[in-house]
Amino acid sequence: MFHQTRLGRETRGNRVIWKDNFSTQADSYAKYRPHYPVALYDFLRQQVKYHDVSWDCGTGNGQVATELAKFFKQVWATDASYAQLIHAPNLPNVNYSVALAENSGLATQSIDLITVAQAVHWFDFDSFYREVHRVARQEAIIALWGYGLLKISNSLDEIIGDFYYHVVDQYWDAERKHLDHAYQTISFPFKIVPAPTFTMSVEWNLADLLGYLATWSSVQKMLKIHQVDPVAVLAPTLANVWGDPTLQRQVVWDIYLKVGEVN
């Protein structure tokens, strides 16, 4: 089901203006973004006392909402980007809506689990946390997570690291620094729930890797400003180290997870 509400972000006074860094490449984002491990969802399921309603905030293409739908009666999945949401799978117990994290439109004291995957660093933290407290039921759980730079091999990691820190670095928005610091710089005013360490991994060929790099907002911004595709420039260097472009290599990301009790 799809419902449309309101948009925004980037705080100016009391007004919130939304930074839209992903709508233009929403189809590629849906195709190349890696999936979180089943063990992460199993852990969250065990922390939640009631499995009636969950809210996946900043849902993007509905990746997390789809998994939550397996153990919640109803899932509300919101995102500020309509272009992202149209790539989300249609499930009977998932309700999608275009809405701000800070102004979700959800009912007060209605949510048992709030999740935010690879998105909270874009939010106005204080306003979002006020919204979390408003919509959360007693004994609700909040889980925020993200991931930073991928790891493949020493030689490939060095090339991609140089690209990240010295080629497209100036084109990242300031919020990206929260991922560089493994979410340790994000405020989290909730009672901490101890959580294990998780990683996610995929098996990719060279084309998959290049497709993923092209989804970076910094890459898209550099391309827009200079009309030069930095991933296309990087591709021959990566190809020289990768070898056979059809070769599948394991790509790994560390997940930065914060889990807490809301009330």
Count of residues making up the chain: 263
What is the b/e burial string over 152-191, where b = at least 16 CB atoms within 10 angstroms of the residue's CB?
beeebeebbeebbeebbeebbeebbebbbeebeebebebe
SS3 21: coil
- From the list 59, 57, 32, 52, the residue with the least C-alpha distance to 202 is 32
Q: Judge whether residue 14 has pLDDT over 80.
A: no
Q: Judge whether residue 242 has pLDDT over 80.
A: yes
Mean pLDDT of 132-150: 97
Q: SS3 letters for 138-154?
A: EEEEEEEEEECCCECCH
Mean pLDDT of 227-254: 98
Mean pLDDT of 55-66: 96
Mean pLDDT of 158-174: 97
φ, ψ for residue 176, nearest 5 deg: -60, -25
DSSP string, 81-115: -HHHHTTS---TTEEEEE-BTTB--PPTT-EEEEE
State both tokens at 53: 């309603």
Summarised one tens digit per residue, pLDDT across range 170-184 is 999 999 999 999 999
C-alpha to C-alpha distance for 65 and 230, rounded to whole angstroms: 32
C-alpha to C-alpha distance for 168 and 163, rounded to whole angstroms: 6
Q: How confident is the model at residue 16 (pLDDT cuts 50, 70, 90)?
A: very low
Sign of the torsion formed by the C-alpha atoms of 240, 233, 175 and 121: negative
C-alpha to C-alpha distance for 195 and 113, rounded to whole angstroms: 15
Mean pLDDT rounded to a whole number for the chain:
91
pLDDT of residue 81: 87
Beta strand spans in 99-244 (E): 111-117, 136-147, 191-192, 198-204
pLDDT of residue 31: 80
Is 10 or 69 the better-scoring residue by pLDDT? Answer: 69
Summarised one tens digit per residue, pLDDT across range 200-236 is 999 999 999 999 999 999 999 999 999 999 999 999 9
Least confident of 3-7, 102-106, 138-142: 3-7
Least confident of 65-69, 86-90, 134-138, 160-164: 86-90
pLDDT of residue 8: 35
251: Cβ contacts below 8 Å, ≥ 6 apart: 34, 150, 151, 152, 201, 202, 203, 204, 209
Q: Give me the CATH topology for the region 2-150+174-200+253-261.
A: Rossmann fold (3.40.50)
Q: How confident is the model at residue 25 (pLDDT cuts 50, 70, 90)?
A: low
Summarised one tens digit per residue, pLDDT across range 86-127 is 989 999 999 999 999 999 999 999 999 999 999 999 999 999
Q: How confident is the model at residue 28 (pLDDT cuts 50, 70, 90)?
A: low
pLDDT of residue 10: 37
Q: How confident is the model at residue 29 (pLDDT cuts 50, 70, 90)?
A: low
Other beta carbons less than 10 A from residue 194's beta carbon: 5
Instruction: Give the burial class of 134: count Cβ atoms within 10 A of its Cβ; 0-12 exposed, 13-18 middle, 19 or more buried.
Output: middle
Q: Judge whether residue 27 has pLDDT over 70.
A: no
